[in-house]
Structure 1
């Protein structure tokens, strides 16, 4: 990444452009400029700003790629110029302008010249169901899509799209989902009261620009403020033939928001549970897996980084409550009769935080799982499911090695 990107948002650098996650004014659309630049780069089939092949598989010469890259940069610069007045006080805007200047110099791009052409709409987007993912998928495949579920809640605990369950020691901002359609970032902060626990205090969701369905849209929730609207104040976006690609709804103003993204068949639920935020996601497999190798940090896909994983079986109680574990099991058992990973998370959160209200995070996460997972058998995960899968793989490996040893001796 470049110094301007690493300086202002080091956790979200993507090749030559930085997706800025600060709150954006309704009139300042710098995120749209960023998204259009990324789209123009995708047309080159390059992730390095000057290397790689064309999207169709045919290799482009270095000169052709560089020419296209310069065109994309000039379009990027024009977009920022149009945003000069509404974005004049926005840090992300000024960082982008400086970054473009650096790139123009680095790639020796002429200031004057052609700009990137808008990406043509695929032929199948001309149908009336193009922005209704489920209908479009059924029309193509003759079946409903396979949905995956992820949740982030509590201290924080992560249930990944692959049904692994982990507890993270992460602090600060971390990508939860990062694919071609969606970027979600969660911020975890130390709990008050001097305990060892952390809580989710901020969730930022960016629906990336999908030209035929919706412009880029930002949603942001913070502790004690879960709005039932996007950052620009709207409750819907992407109107097309009587349907909206994005809609926000709430059943508890200030504490709950449900966002439906019809164009990608995705449902997101943001809650405040106790003194922590939580996020639950249901998304089709094809959407979840639409990401490149540079998008290598996603809590919902790979879970916590190994160095940041916590053993939930041995939570550390706060110093002020040395006997905190005495009644936690009974309390969680009353709320969560099945001793699964949600029960385990409930016990962990109560012991580490000393706050009885922290148990509501696990209860809400389980309820979301029941609503989002159609297979009832997959709702409850055993606490040792991941360890059992790992042990099974180790047993198989040992068996194969012993068989190879037997063959070699023969």
Structure 2
């Protein structure tokens, strides 16, 4: 008997072969099968990018009327772009079932629509749907506007900020600044409205330095506003759409209270979740990702499990065992370059900076010698990767745009009156064992 995934692909192949010759049946059949694969294979390996090809084709054709004969040229253009995308990833997708099914599906559709393999591959300009009656949907339901619903009869909400960048460095919702190890998958945010999980991987073999290589954000279904949406980014893949190819909250009346906007292609994405008053900024800087969020305190603290409330990094900070002491790092600096201290990796990076070179480089982007500046110096000394200078710079730019208290943008290390480390000493992490329970919730959505 065939394994489940293989049976699905065989059925999909049969669906391709059994579709009628009419444009309407073939296109509708294709979209149904594409939906199946986007759901069955929610994640792809970092090498095979077939889901990116699927998502791009789905985005280019959904919402447009490609079923009539006059639209065949545009549909063929989209198919050629789809085929070109699959060819680019062919080498790394040889054993991927979704890839092979997509290739055969493209061939069948191109044949049935008499599409030439030669021709333009530029994505067609999307045809917009007829305008909606402005009296009907000029505004989403009031419940989908945070400031109108949550704070209808009270003072304006108090917004707070969390950011993760570099080696990685964490600024919590309570303005604590930490440098942490946290290798592997960790919950960054986990409340009643959304989950954010990051995966950190070693920057260099044999080094304790890690950086964020993958980010997953789950927006939970909320009343008549949004359906559950999953956003995933990883190294060299920063999509401008959710995993299903959509750019908003789905088919509910208040769907536009959740939107993705691409600011810089492949480098900068912003997600607005107005129904919870939240703005998320995701960037790729060099090979790695940065994360920043602006969120109301009321949403930050909306956690059902009060006993283990906020067992996530943005609220509670990193476990003490995972924190790196900045003071020990400063002491290591005085010993000179490439002499390992308590917080430096055992092996120096190939193109390592001296302390003087690192400070000079960081000062080009960060003239104020606060903790963002210190994190930049730390990253250059531990990794030798100049892109971490930009990571610190953009992290501070995001703070300037997202933090509600402009007087607290810069954070400075207080080394004299601390007994146990840097400014990042946090509460006891004895309840950390409860994090195991979170694994079940991530597994339930296929992470």
TM-score (norm 2): 0.57
| Counterpart for residue 210 of structure 1 | 222
Kept after mapping to 2: 8 A contact 1:147/1:284: yes
Q: After TM superposition, which residue ranges in structure 1, 4 or more long, deviate above 6 angstroms?
A: none
Aligned to 2:142: 129
Q: Aligned partners of 2:172, 2:238: CA distance in 1, in Å?
A: 23
Alignment gaps of 5+ in structure 1: 1-23, 31-88, 91-126, 392-410
SS at match of 1:350: helix
The verdict on how the C-alpha distance between 1:262 and 1:274 changes in structure 2, with shifts beyond 3 A counting, is same
**2:383 matched to which residue of 1?**
353
Q: Do 1:189 and 1:200's aligned partners in 2 also have CA atoms closer than 8 Å?
A: yes
* Alpha carbons 1:213, 1:240 under 8 Å: kept: yes
- Alpha-carbon distance, 1:237 to partner: 1.2
Q: C-alpha distance in 1, partners of 2:174/2:287?
A: 28
Three-state SS of the structure 1 residue aligned to 2:372 is helix
Indicate yes or no: 2:164 matched with 1:152.
Answer: yes
Paired residue secondary structure (1:244):
helix
Separation of aligned partners in 2, 1:387 and 1:212: 50
For residues 317-344 of structure 1, the C-alpha deviation after alignment (integer angstroms, 9 at most, x for no partner) is: 6434565323111111221111111111
Report the equivalent of 1:73.
none
What RMSD over aligned residues (CA atoms) do the two structures have, in Å?
2.8
| Residue 203 (structure 1) shift | 0.5
Q: Tell whether 2:344 aligns with 1:316.
A: yes
Q: What residue is the counterpart of 2:238 in the other structure?
A: 226
Distance 1:241 1:153 in 2: 35
Residue of structure 2 equivalent to 1:79: none
| Paired residues of 2:228 and 2:249 also in contact (CA < 8 A) | no
Which secondary structure does the structure 2 equivalent of 1:158 belong to? Answer: strand
Change (3 A) 1:349 1:202: same
Quick check: 1:341–1:383 contact (8 Å CA) kept in 2?
A: yes
Matched position secondary structure for 1:130: helix
Partner of 2:356: 326
User: 1:330 and 1:350 mapped to 2: Cα distance?
Assistant: 11
Corresponding residue for residue 83 of structure 2? none
Q: Show the counterpart of 1:304.
A: 318
Task: Name the CA distance, whole Å, in 2 between partners of 1:389 and 1:369.
Answer: 28
Is the alpha carbon distance of 1:359 and 1:237 closer, same or farther for their aligned partners in structure 2, counting shifts above 3 Å?
same
Q: 2: distance between equivalents of 1:386 and 1:130?
A: 48
- Structure 1 CA distance for aligned equivalents of residues 414 and 259 of structure 2: 38
The alpha-carbon distance between structure 1 residues 350 and 193, as it changes in their structure 2 partners (threshold 3 A), is: same
Query: Is the alpha carbon distance of 1:386 and 1:366 closer, same or farther for their aligned partners in structure 2, counting shifts above 3 Å?
Result: farther
Question: Take 1:359 and 1:202, find their aligned partners in 2: how far apart are those partners?
Answer: 20
Counterparts of 1:165-244 in structure 2, within 5 Å, are: 165-192=177-204, 195-238=207-250, 241=253, 244=256
| Residue 240 of structure 1, CA deviation | 5.2
Residue 363 of structure 1 aligns to a residue whose secondary structure is helix
Q: Specify every segment of 5 or more residues in structure 2 that has no aligned partner in the other structure, as ranges.
A: 1-35, 43-96, 99-139, 330-342, 422-447
CA contact (8 A) 2:226 2:254 kept: no
Q: Matches of 1:162 and 1:348 in 2, distance apart?
A: 23
When normalised by structure 1's length, the TM-score is: 0.61
